[in-house]
Amino acid sequence: MTMRTLMTGCQIATMLPDGAPYGLIDDGAIVVNGREIRWVGPRLDLPQEFAGLEAMDLGGRLVTPGLIDAHSHVVYGGNRAKEFEMRLSGASYEEIAKAGGGILSTVTATRAATQEDLVAAALPRVDAMISEGVTTLEIKSGYGLTPDTELTMLRAARDIAETRRLRVKTTYLAAHAVPPEFAGRADEYIDTVVLPTLRQAHGEGLVDAVDGFCEGIAFAPDQIARVFDLAKGLGLPVKLHAEQLSNLGGAALAASYGALSADHIEYLDDQGVAAMAKAGTIAVLLPGAFYTLKETQTPPVASMRKAGVPMAVATDCNPGSSPMTSLLLAMNMACSFFGLTPQEALAGTTRNAALALGLSDAGVIAAQKRADLAVWDVSHPAELAYTIGMNPLHRRVFEGRFQ
């Protein structure tokens, strides 16, 4: 028998795009039927069919959709604390990468790890995310850069979804960097590693989307296009690390493939904004990397806002440029560094984050959506982006079950 739950005594930030700010309902009620939301609205409008349910009074707390982290590299081996020291001494991200550090140093550690090692190392980071109300997490490969290790990373990501009450969406990112054994031979790496491994990963059901890093220290647009052509042929959606350090036109390229998202985009130009708006491609803002790398070029938030490009916010959790697990902190950074409003920041970790992952069943509180919710000890939604270093989560609800 499917269990029904009635929640009352709460404010509800539905995050529906129309109506009141945050889609806010004062003195609201939510009816959950199994894993699905059955009804939501003002408590006084509760339909008679639910009137007999025993109510769970949430004591005036705020309920939001469960948070969604739409860009993470949470599965990896080792750490790069030493490079943090190097950056503080003046070395740039690009200088570290060209010296064999950066992504490639994590590649070495990841290749040396077993699947079990990778899961064990990732779980404390994942648990920190869950503790802040995250119910859906995207996890990328991209630190193996060999067929076996890329597949191992994806399998580890799938294992995390089995180990924790969390929805995981996997992204294939073998086009993340050119490994040292293919130095100067990026096209050969794509032909012999990236493309055949994508076919194998897809055949094993390990891939939900395909990503790449379009940058001078990684791959050129024409090389990314070859990866996207195969993804399209396999029926997989694409997304792209684009315009982080320079403008190679990656966002416009991604939009031409109907990409779910273009991520980072600090150097995005008007042409890229227009292309994303036309394609419905989500802009995923990653303030953790901006902060860690001490960048000064900010994404063109005002231009995207004017063009109607939806903006998501994610941790970019990774060992080098964003060793951060706090989506709440990312929200605060997006407001403080990039000029988002608290409402935009919350939409960026709920409704728009769902769109960035191609999800239509999450990110808002509405009938027939997943019952993935977060209950907060706050009096107003703006507090979620306002506070720094404070975790006001009261309880998390995943697939209709309280934790």
Assign 3-class secondary structure to 356-384.
HCCCCCCCCCCCCCECCEEEECCCCCCHH
Question: Looking at residue 81, what is its pLDDT?
Answer: 84
Question: Looking at residue 100, what is its pLDDT?
Answer: 67
Under a CB-based contact definition with an 8 Å cutoff, are residues 382 and 335 in contact?
no
Distances (CA, A) of 165 to 124, 198, 315: 14, 27, 19
Question: What's 4's DSSP letter?
Answer: E
Question: Looking at residue 1, what is its pLDDT?
Answer: 45
Whether this model's pTM surpasses 0.75: yes
For the chain, the farthest-separated pair of C-alpha atoms sits apart, in whole angstroms, at 69
CA 388-106-289 angle, to 5 degrees, is 30
Amino acid at residue number 150 = E
Question: Looking at residue 94, what is its pLDDT?
Answer: 76
Which domains does the chain show, CATH number per domain?
Answer: 4-65+363-402 (2.30.40.10), 67-356 (3.20.20.140)
pLDDT tens digits along 114-150: 999 999 999 999 999 999 999 999 999 999 999 999 9
Q: Which residues of the chain have pLDDT under 50?
A: 1
How many Cα atoms are found within 13 Å in the side-chain-facing hemisphere of 260?
25
Distance in angstroms (rounded) separating the CA atoms of residues 194 and 115:
20
